[in-house]
Amino acid sequence: MSEETSPKTEDKTQEAVESPKGKPEAKPEAKAKPAPKAPKPPAIEEKPFSEFVEQHYLPELKKALTAKKIEDLSLQFANNQISGQWQKGQRQFTIYFPQSDITGQRAFTCSSGTSTSDIEPFLGDERKITLDLLVFGVVQRLNAQKWLGNN
């Protein structure tokens, strides 16, 4: 019985390949190649340093700190430093970028009504620096000082 089923299977396969007129169908044409992808715009972290800070970092940092109930926040960018202060200058912090590059060395200082005494490395262990990470790092440092919210 197994011999009888084999020829029938072959007939069905042959019928599927042939057109209704009994002629073999033409092979479908090869699919057209997809259009080349447009180049991706560079990541915002790859923009020139001052452009990145002024257009992206300062607004995001201000938004994050305002969300933590800091009302009279003043942020300034000058000489590769970002300075922030609130409570009429009683609370201050500064982020230093000595190489004008977010991936280079970074430092952080903060003070509460006194002159700054300690300069600490800022996100020194991180390999890839992103906008979100830079904002998070400042919020984390200020929160560690117990300057944000009900901490």
Q: Are 134 and 128 in contact (CB under 8 A)?
A: no
Q: At residue 7, does pLDDT exceed 60?
A: no
Give residue 26's pLDDT.
Answer: 60
Q: At residue 69, does pLDDT exceed 70?
A: yes
Q: Are 61 and 75 in contact (CB under 8 A)?
A: yes
State the pTM of this model: 0.66
Query: Within 13 Å of residue 59, how many CA atoms lie on the same side as its CB?
Result: 5
Average pLDDT over the chain, rounded to whole?
A: 77
Give residue 11's pLDDT.
Answer: 53
Taking only the tens place, the pLDDT of each residue in 29-49 is 656 676 667 677 667 777 888
Q: Are 124 and 112 in contact (CB under 8 A)?
A: no
Q: At residue 14, does pLDDT exceed 60?
A: no
Taking only the tens place, the pLDDT of each residue in 89-123 is 788 889 898 888 888 888 888 888 777 667 777 77
